[in-house]
Amino acid sequence: MADRLLHRLLPASEWLQSYRKGDALSDAMAALIVTVMLIPQSLAYAMLAGLPAQVGLYASMLPLLGYALFGSSRTLAVGPVAVASLMTAAAISKVAPPGSDQYLAAAIVLALLSGLILIAMAALRLGWLSNLLSHPVIAGFITAAGILIATSQLKHLLGVPAGGHTLIDIVQELTPQLVHTHYPTLAIGLGTLLFLLWSRSHLKPLLQRLSLPELAVDLLTRAGPALAVVASTIIVAHWSLDQSGVRVVGEVPAGLPGLSLPQFDIGLWQTLLIPALLISLIGFVESVSVAQTLAARRRQRINPNHELAGLGAANIGSALSGGLPVTGGFARSVVNFDAGAVTPMAGVFTAIAIGVTAILLTPWFTFLPNATLAATIIVAVLSLIDFAIIRRTWRYSRTDFSAMALTMIGVFLVGVEAGVVIGIGASLLLFLWRTSQPHVAVVGQVPGTEHFRNMLRHEVITSPSVLSMRIDESLYFANARRLEDTVYNAALQRPGTRHVVLQCSAVNLIDASALESLESLSQRLQSAGICLHLAEVKGPVMDALQAVDFTEHLSGNIYLSQYAALADLDPTSLSVG
Amino acid sequence: MADRLLHRLLPASEWLQSYRKGDALSDAMAALIVTVMLIPQSLAYAMLAGLPAQVGLYASMLPLLGYALFGSSRTLAVGPVAVASLMTAAAISKVAPPGSDQYLAAAIVLALLSGLILIAMAALRLGWLSNLLSHPVIAGFITAAGILIATSQLKHLLGVPAGGHTLIDIVQELTPQLVHTHYPTLAIGLGTLLFLLWSRSHLKPLLQRLSLPELAVDLLTRAGPALAVVASTIIVAHWSLDQSGVRVVGEVPAGLPGLSLPQFDIGLWQTLLIPALLISLIGFVESVSVAQTLAARRRQRINPNHELAGLGAANIGSALSGGLPVTGGFARSVVNFDAGAVTPMAGVFTAIAIGVTAILLTPWFTFLPNATLAATIIVAVLSLIDFAIIRRTWRYSRTDFSAMALTMIGVFLVGVEAGVVIGIGASLLLFLWRTSQPHVAVVGQVPGTEHFRNMLRHEVITSPSVLSMRIDESLYFANARRLEDTVYNAALQRPGTRHVVLQCSAVNLIDASALESLESLSQRLQSAGICLHLAEVKGPVMDALQAVDFTEHLSGNIYLSQYAALADLDPTSLSVG
């Protein structure tokens, strides 16, 4: 019992109890590879968010510990990620000018709010809220964000100043700057870009042909960005290119971050609440889907509520140590998994390695060119951009495609936050629209049986005085009024109709709106001299109807089956088998 | 053909072609009774909206003509109504101080925007958007608005100054004023109130006992408010009570309104856009439900798109002639219907009668006490307040009740607009929550048959290696991820499972999110060595699945029936009949 409670509150207790030396070795190897990948990424994503480079490192220590304690995935690697950093930049650049102290303070508040929202969602079991984000909306959002991020980094590759948070703004600000392209910067940026693209596909086979040990191959394969960082830093430092206009990261304070409480400013908190909610939702959905995919490969399970708590702890950790919002990274987690991580201890080891980096390696980053980081970002987000899923959604369903397209247009033209909100709104409205016109069939008896089937598809017998209709959907507020009209009009247009029998075999729910509509339908039909009956009402639905005086408002009866209804209302019309 | 097009664009052409003298007589009688009822109401609702009295009259002329031309109900009576006037006050008091020219200008812009929104909804066939308003939300909103309106009129009864747009504000502002109650005003107000309440139930029987002609009885029964207006005006004028502090309507300009274009101010339009949308939606839903109820009694039909166009034309007419937002009134339409109106010409006659009133009778309104109008409003909104529907919803469904309760709390504590928005949001979220956990049953073969039933409810045979599950809901974004987990966990928890077969007989839709989830489920199960199959997939769903390469992503097969699946995967487990 005590064990169970402990596991529930602190999932880490489960794997810590049986942690062995072999596990530690595997985790440490994976941590090494992830660290090599994470160092350039954390610097790059801090730059993407418009924050000082060290903030990226700070967001890669405590958050990893927090997730390791409270998260349920064994192999998820958390930290700064591209999309969350873009959303961070979009949110906080509204409240403070980039580069200011207020800007950094706002990023920290944003991380804290994200953490608190995620923890609250875990406590209130509100994980299902993430269902608001349909797959097409997420997919469209991620691809659009990827394109937006890649475009936003072009200024660093070209070595020109430009801003903007929508595609139009970015392109508009960038175009007049093209003539001012700084060619040394462009050379470094393009060089890095080409090297990284080449290394993604060609480095591993090359290293394998050199018959290096497997760990070395793995390490070097993932070290592409790190190698680029080292090489370009050396080039810039050696030829003092920073003096001739190549923008560099500049001096990065060495050492671990101090712990401090984010500033409390009710106005700022209110402004950042919705952005924090959107970052949390997107981060949670992405994170859970990576965690689930990886867990499945080892027949493990993840618990969405623990994921909320783990990510919440990670973000609060980030806020306390001066970092930006974090979540589980896709590529990073896959690398962690493939490199053999068996428990979240790999994350703890990664955090320690990043800590060592912050203490010892920061002087090296002074001459690191921004163009190199920009190239790292562009190559990383290429994997987010997925046109295949867009084509596939188009082929599968125009409705889903519309939600996806509206999301993408929202991201491009209005911004990331608007994109998410538009996407959620559009998918809800489209779903309502879709279910507001359910399939309704006029049915008749299949001769010699007690079955009733759609008269348009089967040879069936229908009664001249009884109209039998089957409704293939739950009855709820979005379709109640329309069904009322559909049935009413069908009854009035069919001369000689004295009774309407609704076959409710596919009706899983009748909500209060549909109840009112049924009563109103009964009344309207009665005014027209037609009696309304129901048949084959499911047990739970019947229970609810009986809790109110529905049968008194219904002009007709409720029959066990469509056949029983016809046998009562117009027995001569039936064919007896 | 030309006729049909004409009917579609101008529904009035249909009944005008066959209009006869007898119809005109019936319509004129109904118009007379409605006018007697409408005069005090239009003055009162203008006061409720914080506008000069004549604005109410202006909103009862052109709008009626507009609706007569474009609406599809034969008997709906449009004009200023209580709820729309309250919402108007709430919206425009945010942009201008009551009593100012800007305040009146804002009301006119609000009417114009409502008209444009309704016309746009008609043109784009967006009438289904009104489905966003579920019955419980509407019912809760109307009752809460009724209570709010009645409370807001107490200040006029007491003859004290007080404001506020939420229940709390009103009560807070009113309480300290109680000691300043103006007793002559209170006497007039209470007297009117008691007379109106008495006349609602006792006047008609009394008049019938006097054996007056039927028309006179009808007219006098509806004339309660008009009689109160006349009596209290004479009392005030005779004893010059306005000199001793009884607040009166004051001078009302005589004559018809001039036509003019509402002012164009982009900022004002933007601010009023959402309120106008909410007023339009609420007005449309209420109006359509009255129109439908009345149409049904005479076996007529109404066309929701024509209703949108008719109400749109009415509001644009109101804006052009300096009025406030209008819609179909419930009580007024019932009176019109009962009094024998047969075509919208009754509305035209009513408009003419109101025009005559505006030209000839306005001097009489100078001494009309506000307390009388307040009493008229209170008695009118009593019919809006419906506690029975609240109790009934509570008994029927806690989910629907929650949406209703949140709407009412929203209206009371935050305001009318917030109430509608909260109600819409809550019913959407609650619906998503409800369908996010659909009924899933493990099924088995009913011995000797090809039927598969829930193993918890029936004696069935199950295969040790094949897990058969039936899902009783369409698969879409709100439940896709959860179903993925439910099925995955069920399969993993049942030792010996090699195959999972999902019976899809109750699945009417698989959206793109559910498609992704099915593929991910297939992948996750495959990683765990389990094969996923589908059975009994409906035709349209199968068509969509085949449009993409779903079968390639599915580890197993798609079977025609659950029985066929078992016959293929584990034939020895089946009982042969």
Q: Domains of chain B (ranges plus CATH)?
A: 25-405 (no CATH), 440-573 (3.30.750.24)
From the list A396, A512, A524, the residue facing B393 with the nearest CB is: A512
DSSP state, residue B398 = H
The alpha carbon of residue B258 is apart from the nearest alpha carbon of chain A, in Å, by: 40
Q: Copy the structure tokens of residue B209.
A: 């006992």
Question: Are A226 and A39 a contacting pair, CB within 8 Å?
Answer: yes
- What is the C-alpha end-to-end distance of chain A, expressed in Å? 62
CB contact under 8 A, B299 and A434: no
Question: Are B306 and B13 a contacting pair, CB within 8 Å?
Answer: no
Highest averaged pLDDT of the listed ranges A181-190, A198-207, A469-478, B328-337: A181-190
Residues of chain B in contact with residue A528, where contact means CB-CB under 8 angstroms, are 296, 299
Residue A191 CB partners (closer than 8 Å, separation 6+) = A232
In sequence order, what DSSP letters do the residues of A289-332 get, joined into one string?
Answer: HHHHHHHHHTT----HHHHHHHHHHHHHHHHHTT----EE-HHH
Q: Copy the structure tokens of residue A568.
A: 């009562």
Residues of chain A in contact with residue B301, where contact means CB-CB under 8 angstroms, are 489, 492
Predicted pLDDT at B429: 85
- Among A residues 357-396, those touching chain B with beta carbons less than 8 Å apart: 392-393, 395-396
Task: Give the integer Cα–Cα distance in Å for B291 and B281.
Answer: 15
CB contact under 8 A, B512 and A293: no
Tell me, yes or no, if A466 comes closer than 8 A to chain B by beta carbon.
Answer: no
**In A383-456, alpha helices (H):** 387-396, 398-413, 416-435
The alpha carbon of residue B278 is apart from the nearest alpha carbon of chain A, in Å, by: 16
Q: Give exposure, A357-374, as e/b (b: 16+ Cβ within 10 Å).
A: bbeeebebbbbbbbbbbb
Task: Give the integer Cα–Cα distance in Å for A116 and A108.
Answer: 12
Pairing of strands A499-503, A531-535: parallel
CB contact under 8 A, A131 and B472: no
Residue A85 has pLDDT above 80, yes or no: yes
Tell me, yes or no, if A308 comes closer than 8 A to chain B by beta carbon.
Answer: no
CB contact under 8 A, A489 and B438: no
Tell me, yes or no, if B515 comes closer than 8 A to chain A by beta carbon.
Answer: yes
Residue B533 pairs in a beta bridge with B501
CB contact under 8 A, B527 and A136: no
In sequence order, what DSSP letters do the residues of A147-209 get, joined into one string?
Answer: HHHHHHTHHHHHT-----SSHHHHHHHHGGGGGG--HHHHHHHHHHHHHHHHHHHHHHHHHHH
Task: Give the integer Cα–Cα distance in Å for B461 and B452.
Answer: 9
| Spatial CA neighbour of B26 closest among B296, B339, B298 | B339
In sequence order, what DSSP letters do the residues of A188-200 get, joined into one string?
Answer: HHHHHHHHHHHHH
Predicted pLDDT at A294: 85
Tell me, yes or no, if A520 comes closer than 8 A to chain B by beta carbon.
Answer: yes
Mean pLDDT of A283-303: 84
Query: What are the backbone dihedrals phi and psi of residue A165, each rounded to the nearest 5 degrees, phi first?
Result: -120, 0
Question: Are B488 and B521 a contacting pair, CB within 8 Å?
Answer: yes
Q: Copy the structure tokens of residue B222.
A: 């509806």
Task: Give the integer Cα–Cα distance in Å for B52 and B47.
Answer: 7
pLDDT tens-digit profile, chain B (577 residues): 567 777 777 888 888 888 988 899 999 999 998 998 899 999 999 999 999 999 999 999 999 999 999 999 999 999 999 999 999 999 999 999 998 999 999 999 999 999 999 999 999 988 878 878 888 999 999 999 999 999 999 999 999 988 888 899 999 999 999 999 999 999 999 999 999 999 888 888 888 888 888 888 888 888 888 899 999 999 999 999 999 889 998 888 988 998 888 888 888 998 999 999 999 999 998 898 888 888 877 877 788 889 999 999 999 999 999 999 999 998 899 889 988 899 999 999 999 999 999 999 999 899 999 999 999 999 989 988 999 999 999 999 999 999 999 999 999 999 898 999 999 989 988 888 888 888 888 999 988 877 788 888 788 999 999 999 988 888 998 888 889 889 999 998 998 999 999 998 778 889 998 998 899 899 889 988 999 999 988 777 888 898 888 988 899 999 988 899 999 999 998 876 5
Residue A317 CB partners (closer than 8 Å, separation 6+) = A62, A63, A65, A66, A115, A323
Query: What are the backbone dihedrals phi and psi of residue B260, each rounded to the nearest 5 degrees, phi first?
Result: -155, 160
Residue A68 CB partners (closer than 8 Å, separation 6+) = A12, A344, A345, A347, A348
Task: Give the integer Cα–Cα distance in Å for A226 and A220.
Answer: 9
Give the percent of chain A with pLDDT over 90. 58
Q: Copy the structure tokens of residue B124.
A: 């784009």
CB contact under 8 A, A477 and B427: yes
CB contact under 8 A, B135 and A512: yes
| Spatial CA neighbour of B35 closest among B292, B437, B348 | B348
- Among B residues 393-422, those touching chain A with beta carbons less than 8 Å apart: 393, 395-397, 399-401, 404
Q: Report how far apart, in Å, the C-alpha atoms of B284 and of each of B128, B130, B312, B508 are.
A: 11, 8, 10, 31
Query: What are the backbone dihedrals phi and psi of residue A415, each rounded to the nearest 5 degrees, phi first?
Result: 140, 170
Q: Copy the structure tokens of residue A29.
A: 């190897």
Residue A358 CB partners (closer than 8 Å, separation 6+) = A54, A57, A58, A61, A254, A255, A256, A257
Q: Copy the structure tokens of residue A163.
A: 């801003």
Least confident of A372-381, A563-572, B301-310: B301-310
Helix (H, G, I), strand (E, B) or coil at B210: coil
Predicted pLDDT at B141: 94
Q: Is B451 exposed, middle or buried (0-12, 13-18, 19+ CB in 10 A)?
A: middle
Helix (H) or strand (E) holding B16: helix B12-16
Q: Copy the structure tokens of residue A554.
A: 């219904």
Predicted pLDDT at B202: 86
Predicted pLDDT at B310: 95
Predicted pLDDT at A1: 55
In angstroms, how far is CA A574 from the centroid of its own chain?
54
In sequence order, what DSSP letters do the residues of A364-386 get, joined into one string?
Answer: GGGG-BHHHHHHHHHHHHHTT--
Residue A402 CB partners (closer than 8 Å, separation 6+) = A426, A430
Q: Report how far apart, in Å, the C-alpha atoms of A162 and of each of A94, A95, A155 are.
A: 17, 19, 6
Question: Are A441 and A469 a contacting pair, CB within 8 Å?
Answer: yes
Q: Report how far apart, in Å, the C-alpha atoms of A370 and of each of A56, A86, B548 are.
A: 14, 16, 42
- Among B residues 430-449, those touching chain A with beta carbons less than 8 Å apart: 431-439
Helix (H, G, I), strand (E, B) or coil at B537: coil
CB contact under 8 A, A509 and B434: yes
From the list A135, A392, A435, the residue facing B477 with the nearest CB is: A135
Q: Report how far apart, in Å, the C-alpha atoms of B537 and of each of B278, B557, B559 are.
A: 41, 11, 8
Residue A181 CB partners (closer than 8 Å, separation 6+) = A158, A159, A160
Task: Give the integer Cα–Cα distance in Å for A7 and B361.
Answer: 81
| Spatial CA neighbour of B427 closest among B133, B172, B130 | B133
Q: Is A256 exposed, middle or buried (0-12, 13-18, 19+ CB in 10 A)?
A: middle
Helix (H, G, I), strand (E, B) or coil at B239: coil
Residues of chain B in contact with residue A399, where contact means CB-CB under 8 angstroms, are 511
Tell me, yes or no, if B271 comes closer than 8 A to chain A by beta carbon.
Answer: no
Task: Give the integer Cα–Cα distance in Å for B332 and B77.
Answer: 6
Q: Choosing among A135, A306, A399, which should be mutated to test the B contact, i.e. which has the most B CBs within 10 A?
A: A135
pTM equals 0.79
Predicted pLDDT at A258: 87
Tell me, yes or no, if A497 comes closer than 8 A to chain B by beta carbon.
Answer: no
